[in-house]
Amino acid sequence: MGQQTPLHDEHLRQGAKMVDFAGWDMPIHYGSQVEEHHAVRRDAGMFDVSHMTVVDLEGARCRDFLRLLVANNVDKLRDAGKALYSCMLNERGGVIDDLIVYFLQDDSFRLVVNSATRDKDLAWIGRQAQPFAVRVTERPELAMVAVQGPQARERVLGLLDPDDRERAALLPPFFAAALDDWFIARTGYTGEDGFEIMLPGDAAVTLWRGLEAAGVAPCGLGARDTLRLEAGMALYGADMDEDVTPLEAGLDWTVGWEPQDRDFIGRAALERQRAEGVPRKLVGLVLEDRGVLRNHQKVVVEGVGEGEITSGSFSPTLGRSIALARVPAATGERCQVEIRGRLLEARVVKPPFVRRGEALVDV
Amino acid sequence: MSDAPSDLRYTKSHEWLRTDEDGTVTVGITDHAQEQLGDMVYVEVPEVDQEFEAGDACAVVESVKAASDVYAPVACTVVEVNEELADAPELVNQDPFGAGWIMRIRPASAADVEALMDADAYLAYVESEQH
């Protein structure tokens, strides 16, 4: 048996099929992954993401430390509560993890990193923090609930007391606010509007039941994966890892090249790769034939070379199979994917496939 | 507990077989199998007149989660496939023992079909698999 979140019994009560995820017992779905997916695109769904790792950083030199630690530039964070998505790189420019940095105050930042990479992340962050005298504190006592969908914010706001409601309602996208011992962020991993709420574990069941009573559908990790894939969001361990740079993972936009004298870990390797030419790129694929694209299927680009699907599934919103694939940089608009010995036709597109309920690619 | 009609035969790989009056046999996957696989999004059926040995992979059911082979339960020739699954793979979830059938076969030997598990044996097998 794996680790359990504070919502474990709620999942069982709601009929979840539980699976192991990075050592945690987590709900994969509560009956129908596709219905849960649609609930998020059309209304509101909630995800228990308490397995994710919350890390608080404190110290006068927090910002200097983060300038070194992450590839995106934390100097973009000027307003309290602002969030920034970034990769944390090794010296080779490979991705140790992707994360969100929240700026709280000049001596206080919060990171949310993946649970599957928790141990190595904490070791790396702790080691890099030492010269800066930054205190690194994991917050395992916090639960985390993501509420996502066009109606998600309304449903959450309805559960807050008036003062908190007003502050949460005013949060712009990619901003967060501390409301007593809750931390509410207008972020997510679905391509829909919504909140991610970090709160004491013993308050999680009350929130979950309140959302349930407000008509928010419980959604498992299965729907979370198809939603993020449609939204073109990379998944650590599938779309990138320590042997892949952000430039090869469609994450160029998260690299803070300016100012040039900010020497973040991995910068030299990225500069070198950029100068030499990035050999591979991450693209979106829409399967034109019938079938389902899956991770690790071979991509064949005629006259160019071969690549591989890094995340493939069926898109419930598009009614087609879609994927993210790493292919040679010279890949054009078409390719083929080998599925059970046959080459099927696929179109190369620029992700996202779906955002805010709208299809962004032709099918 | 999943359903398993008493007039069918079953395999350990979770196919069901119904012998029709003309001696052909309809094949699908069980309620238990569809429940394990989750929402179906694609079914690849074999071609009519294709011949299989018992245990050959002959069709593929793909859910959002994963692709899974369907095996020929006995040596057989395919006589008909469920064309409706091309546009409505969810029939396998909604009605696994009915509209969600996958193929109709002519078994090499009717005795091969009779030798497979009955419903009680299948349910006991599913139970044992879960422990």
Alpha carbons within 13 A on the beta-carbon side of A4: 9
Higher pLDDT, B129 or A124: A124
pLDDT at B1: 54
Q: End-to-end CA distance of chain B: give it in Å, rounded.
A: 14
Question: Strand A45-48 to strand A217-218: parallel, antiparallel, or no bridges (unpaired)?
Answer: parallel
Closest CA to A121 of A189, A221, A20, A52: A52
Residues of A in contact with B32 (CB under 8 A): none
Environment class of A50 (CB within 10 Å of its CB; exposed 0-12, middle 13-18, buried 19+): buried
CB A114 within 8 A of CB A7: no
Give residue ranges of B with CB < 8 Å to any A CB.
38-39, 41-42, 44, 60, 62, 64-67, 86
Smallest CA–CA distance, residue B85 to chain A, in Å, is 12
Q: Which two tokens stand for residue A99?
A: 């994360």
Centroid of chain to Cα A271:
25
Domains of chain B (ranges; CATH) run 9-125 (2.40.50.100)
Q: How far, in Å, are A40, A99, A145, A152 from residue A188 at the CA level? A: 12, 12, 10, 11
Q: What is the model's pTM?
A: 0.95
Q: How many CB atoms within 10 Å of residue A310?
A: 24
Could you tell me which chain B residue has the CA closest to the CA of A33? B39
Determine the 3-state secondary structure of A324 from DSSP.
strand
- What are the tens digits of pLDDT across the range B38-83? 999 999 999 999 999 999 999 999 999 899 999 999 999 999 999 9
- What are the tens digits of pLDDT across the range B28-40? 999 999 999 999 9
Mean pLDDT computed over every residue of chain A: 97
Give residue ranges of A with CB < 8 Å to any B CB.
28-29, 32-35, 222, 226, 290-292, 294, 313-314, 316, 321, 340
Say what angle helices A118-129 and A62-69 make with each other, to 10 degrees: 120
Contact A290 B86 (CB under 8 A): yes
Q: Which two tokens stand for residue A149?
A: 């969908």
Q: Which among A28, A226, A296, A314 is the top mutation candidate for probing chain B, defined by the most B β-carbons within 10 Å of its own β-carbon?
A: A314
Angle made by CA atoms A39, A44, A46, in degrees to the nearest 5:
95
SS3 sequence, A254-318? HCCCCCCCCCCCCHHHHHHHHHHCCCEEEEEEEECCCCCCCCCCEEEECCCEEEEEEEEEEECCC
Residues of B in contact with A226 (CB under 8 A): 64
Centroid of chain to Cα A28:
17
B64: nearest CB among A291, A314, A340: A314
Regions of chain A where pLDDT drops below 50 = none
Report how far residue A223's alpha carbon sits from residue A4's, in angstroms, rounded to the nearest whole number.
20
- What are the tens digits of pLDDT across the range B102-127? 999 999 999 999 999 999 999 999 99
Contact A34 B64 (CB under 8 A): yes
Q: What is the ipTM of this complex?
A: 0.88
Could you tell me which chain A residue has the CA closest to the CA of B62? A292
Reading phi first (left if > 0) and then psi (alpha if -120 to 50, else beta), residue A303 is in: left
